[in-house]
């Protein structure tokens, strides 16, 4: 393997159980996991490097005791199809709507993270017939990842996606060493959570060929950013925001921006957690979201 060729790995290990299936969308085949019975609950991962359904491995079995749980992998990530294109909020929003409308076929609860929390907030606003309640984990869209792309965004995207140089840059950005550093400094509050198995899963999810670099390149360049200020106050469904007090990349101070727009929004702060609080304190997370949704 040369440093300027795409790195392609085998699929990451399945940590969820249940059934792994595919949904045909306008953006290709989308992978999802389903298990449990009861009201529909859709789980949607973040869009950071190596993101996948792996982030729900400590939650899905407990939630499946009360709900029919669908864990969707978004276009461009892990086991879902990856196209040679720029990934935008419109693309992700349309894919989520298509999955709810074309597959779940009923109003659903949604739990999601980071920028997809902004996308699903928008869906709740424009299509209240699709989402009944929202749980947002350290949401972006106010304070973080809320600015529009600029001229340099196109340059960044172009560099990451061009042959040879782009592949080499992506290989370095998504190496096991780089992923380990990102997880320990920006994602988890306790580095002990960053085990070899966790690093390996993120690494393999980031190297599912072909075109594994296009969605991360879009994110890094700023094309996935989305601002919720114009509509967040108008969401009529119940909303619960969960925030890790030790989050650094998307700090808990940003919670005040959301509450200033929608003061009656329910929220819970996880004192000893970072961005991925559903993994760092799954017992509390599973209890809090189940009580809110039922």
What's the DSSP call for residue 73?
P
Among residues of the chain, what percentage have pLDDT more than 70?
99
Q: Could you tell me which residues come within 8 angstroms of residue 131 by beta carbon, excluding any fewer than 6 positions away?
A: 100, 107, 108, 109, 110, 120, 123, 124, 237
d(CA 18, CA 249): 32
Q: Which of 69, 63, 79, 76 is nearest to 22 (CA)?
A: 79
Secondary structure of 142-190 in HEC code, one letter for each residue: CCCCCCCCCHHHHHHHHHHHCCCHHHHHHHHHCCHHHHHHHHHHHHCCC
Quick: pLDDT tens for 125-161: 999 999 999 999 999 999 989 999 988 999 999 999 9
What does pLDDT average to over the chain?
Answer: 95
Quick: pLDDT tens for 165-208: 888 999 999 999 999 999 999 999 999 999 999 999 999 999 99
pLDDT score at 165:
87
Strand partners, 22: 31
Residue 273 has pLDDT above 90, yes or no: yes
- CB-CB contact of 243 with 138 (8 Å): yes
Residue 54 has pLDDT above 50, yes or no: yes
Q: Average of pLDDT values for 253-258?
A: 97
Q: Average of pLDDT values for 278-292?
A: 98
Residue 2 has pLDDT above 70, yes or no: no
pLDDT tier for residue 210 given thresholds of 50, 70 and 90: very high
d(CA 202, CA 65): 27
Q: Which of 221, 239, 32, 253 is nearest to 122 (CA)?
A: 239
pLDDT tier for residue 3 given thresholds of 50, 70 and 90: low
40-44, strands of its sheet edge to edge? 19-25, 28-36, 68-72, 40-44, 108-113, 131-137, 239-244, 266-270
Q: Which two tokens stand for residue 79?
A: 């086991």
d(CA 208, CA 182): 19
Residue 44 has pLDDT above 60, yes or no: yes
Among residues of the chain, what percentage have pLDDT more than 90?
94
Helix (H) or strand (E) holding 35: strand 28-36
Q: Average of pLDDT values for 256-285?
A: 97
Residue 1 has pLDDT above 90, yes or no: no
pLDDT score at 4:
74
Residue 30 has pLDDT above 80, yes or no: yes
Quick: pLDDT tens for 108-127: 999 999 999 999 999 999 99
Parallel, antiparallel, or unpaired for β 19-25 and 28-36? antiparallel
Q: Is 244 helix (H, G, I), strand (E, B) or coil?
A: strand
């Amino acid at each position: 393997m040369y440093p300027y060729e795409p790195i392609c790995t085998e699929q990451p290990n399945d940590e969820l159980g249940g059934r792994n299936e595919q949904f045909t969308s306008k953006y290709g085949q989308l992978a999802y996991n389903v298990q449990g019975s009861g009201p529909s609950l859709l789980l949607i991962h973040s869009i950071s490097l190596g993101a996948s359904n792996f982030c729900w491995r400590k939650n899905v079995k407990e939630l499946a005791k009360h709900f029919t749980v669908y864990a969707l992998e978004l276009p461009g990530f892990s086991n879902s199809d990856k196209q040679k294109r720029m990934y935008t909020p419109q693309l992700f929003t349309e894919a989520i709507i298509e999955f709810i409308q074309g597959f779940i076929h009923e109003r659903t609860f949604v739990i999601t993270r980071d920028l997809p929390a902004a996308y699903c907030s928008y869906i709740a606003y424009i299509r209240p017939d699709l989402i009944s309640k929202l749980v947002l984990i350290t949401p972006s869209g106010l304070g973080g990842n809320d600015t529009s792309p600029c001229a340099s965004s196109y340059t960044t995207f172009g560099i990451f996606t061009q042959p040879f140089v782009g592949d080499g840059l992506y290989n370095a950005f998504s190496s096991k060493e780089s992923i380990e550093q990102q997880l320990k400094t920006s994602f988890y509050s306790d580095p002990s959570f960053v085990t070899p198995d966790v690093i390996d899963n993120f690494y393999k999810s980031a190297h599912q060929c072909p075109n594994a670099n296009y969605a991360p390149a879009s994110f890094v360049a700023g094309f996935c950013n989305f601002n919720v200020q114009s509509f967040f106050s108008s969401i009529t469904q119940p909303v619960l925001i969960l925030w890790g007090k030790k989050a650094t990349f998307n700090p808990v101070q940003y919670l005040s921006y959301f509450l200033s727009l929608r003061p009656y929004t329910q929220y819970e702060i996880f004192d000893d957690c970072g961005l991925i609080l559903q993994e760092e304190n799954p017992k509390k997370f599973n209890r809090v979201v189940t009580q809110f949704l039922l």
